[in-house]
Structure 1
Amino acid sequence: MLRRNVRLRREYLYRKSLEGKERLLYEKKRKIRQALEEGKPIPTELRNEEKALRSEIDLEDDQTAVPKSSIDDEYANASERDPKILLSTSRNPSSRLTQFVKELKFVFPNAQRINRGGQVISEIVEACRSHEFTDIVMVHEHRGEPDGLIVCHLPFGPTAYFGLHNVVTRHDIKDKKAVGTMSEAYPHLILHNFSTKLGERTSNILKYLFPVPKPDSKRIITFANQSDYISFRHHVYEKPGGPKSIELKEVGPRFELRLYQIKLGTLDQTEVQNEWVIRPYMNTTKKQKILGA
């Protein structure tokens, strides 16, 4: 299994190394297309390659015209099977963190929770790869209050780091009707205001934690971005008075997420490229809208 993982990782890095060459080739083809459409002469530096490039252009379609990157490859086959998630915590979790992770187990379908114990991150990641887990969700705390959530996509990444704020567990929600048996049906997702390129990337990381629901599912999970804080809400709905009467109930938990880093690798890799990381100057009002308007 270790040899197989090394081979797959080497192949992944090799495909990633070709991205620069593919992007350069795409730019050359784009210039030729643009010149032909506008009736302008072919750029001087491309005239020696024009014949070969035009033959390649003739063979392309909508799927092959734009080069795909390793970021596209990460979730290219994600819809072919349901996600399988491992949930864990930092070492020696408090009772509040343990309760919160138990509730997250019902939030994410097909999730399995383990006690961290003395296991190191590399052992957890390797075990998840060998048992075909698709994601690892790790929750951290500070002085008994959950304050961090990590989402690591397997087998090669990415890994997204979120700050956790205003965590309210199910039994802390003031509406007592919300406390009851939690539905385990696959939920419908609402992703609101992820309009930028980074926002789309973040919504993909969150979206692929959930399988495709059935049309009659009455469970709704919402990720709503406002000023780069992602509000998580969990509801079920009923139709007590017929199809035109809908009653919405919050079942919890409730919290806010703040993205601060995305790495192009897995949780156990320390020397990997940062795809994006928050900087101090990004906290200013002028540059605050990172994920969406």
Structure 2
Amino acid sequence: MIKNKDKRAKVYAKQKHEKKIEKQKKIKARDAAEKLALELGEEPPQKMVPKIIENTREADDTVCRPDDQELFADIDADEFNPVLRREVTPKVLITTCRFNSTRGPAFISELLSVIPNFHYHKRGTYDLKKIVEYAKKKDYTSLIVVHTNRREPDALLIIGLPNGPIAHFKLSNLVLGKDIKLFIISLQNHGNPTSHEPELVLNNFTTRLGNHFFQSLFPQEPNFRGRRVVTFHNQRDFILFRHHRYIFQTKESKQSGTKGKDGVAQERVKPRLQVRNHISFMCVWIYQFIYVGIYVQECGPRFTLKLVTLQHGTFDTKGGEFEWVHKPERDTSRRRFFL
């Protein structure tokens, strides 16, 4: 309502300064109350949680809850139930589209190193329905088709065998293991995975749509000796895939033959650390003479998946029944997630 620009600016600056002072007073009062509660041995006041898109998501009826009896009934009738109950060992067949690219085989070779039970067969001119029938006869539990466009892998088609379902994922942000580098040193510093069965980490898959699908691709008995971890992290319906190896390294103090001024043998601490192309590391001092290092090394590949369609049954382009289809009309709210 103030027409003069200078007066309006001064009033706005004064209001802004008053809000800043009030905010600082609230922060000091909250810190003082927390300090007083700790001195008295009481529980500190509950901290305020900032509102973000993840914790303000819209209510969804398909969210899995621990006390949901209907969910447990669906698990017993799930297509992946034999694999999850360890009655059947996962066996995955990987193939490509008919028009393959130069980067597609490199991506497939790194996928083969992620899971020991992956098998690759060249597509050739075979129809996908014939490949599905062949995979059923050979007792494969899943079929993965890597689709490429303009010499770049852009989609994954994962078919559950023998009865489906079929998931079509859009693939983006692909980084092969040989292209993973350190933040500072410009060298090829990716890890070399072993043949051990990896541990599987699934984050933020809270609905029935995203439950048990990726779990059926991996063996249910990981070999912890190999220290391999495969992660599927769901963030706003974008699935981030990562493959790491973790390393524990301990260095103890060594006794030397040197003597001090009083003639008593002294211990010389020489913590030596061999950095072997690790992307990130976390070091903890436990005692004065013991050094412990925990390292995480990324092996690759690294990519992002986005679910496009979920089809019931095996591959059928004409008479197939779609259980879920992503449409732009459903993206009316940024706080609505489906996985």
Normalising by structure 1, what TM-score? Answer: 0.71
Aligned to 1:263: 311
- Alignment-derived partner of residue 229 in structure 1: 238
The alignment status of 1:247 with 2:295, answered yes or no, reads yes
Residues 92-141 of structure 1, C-alpha deviation per residue, up to 9 Å, x if partnerless? 31111111111111112211111111111111111111110110011101
Match of 1:116 among 119, 123, 127: 123
Sequence identity, in percent? 37
Residue ranges of structure 2 left out of the alignment (5+ in a row): 1-68, 252-290
Instruction: Supply the distance in 1 between the matched residues of 2:173 and 2:102 (Cα, whole angstroms).
Output: 17
Change (3 A) 1:177 1:267: same
Displacement after TM superposition at 1:288 (Å):
3.6
Q: Does the alignment pair 1:193 with 2:198?
A: no
> Residue type of the partner of 1:209?
L
Compute the displacement of 1:172 (Å).
1.2
Is the 8 Å Cα contact of residues 179 and 251 (structure 1) preserved in structure 2?
yes
How far 1:268 moved relative to its partner? 4.5
Partner of 2:218: 210
1:143 Cα deviation from its structure 2 partner: 0.5
- Conservation of the 8 A alpha-carbon contact between 2:193 and 2:245: no
Aligned CA RMSD, in angstroms, stands at 2.4
Distance 1:129 1:287, change over 3 A: same
- TM-score, normalised with respect to structure 2: 0.62
Moved more, 214-223 or 176-185: 176-185
**Offset of 1:71 from its aligned partner?**
8.2
Residue 58 (structure 1) aligns with: none
Unpaired stretches in structure 1, ≥5 consecutive residues: 1-63
- CA gap 1:107/1:270 in 2 versus in 1, 3 angstroms: farther
In structure 1, how many angstroms separate the alpha carbons of the residues matched to 2:304 and 2:321? 26
1:162 partner SS: strand
| Per-residue deviation, residues 224-281 of structure 1 (Å, max 9, x unmatched) | 1111100000000111226953110001000000011111111246412211111112
Aligned length: 226
Q: Does the CA-based 8 Å contact 2:228-2:244 persist in structure 1?
A: yes
Question: Which structure carries more helix by proportion?
Answer: 1
For the structure 1 residues 178 and 218, does the alpha-carbon distance in structure 2 shift closer, same or farther, using more than 3 Å as the test? farther
In structure 2, the CA distance between the partners of 1:161 and 1:66, relative to structure 1 (3 Å rule), is: closer
Q: 2:191·2:245 contact (CA, 8 Å) conserved in 1?
A: no
CA contact (8 A) 1:228 1:288 kept: no
Q: Could you tell me which of 129, 146, 149 is aligned with 2:153?
A: 146
Query: Any idea what the Cα deviations from partners look like across 1:163-192, whole Å, max 9, x if unmatched?
Result: 001001111112346435321211111111
Structure with max Cα Rg: 2
Rounded to whole Å, the distance in 1 between the matches of 2:129 and 2:238 is: 30
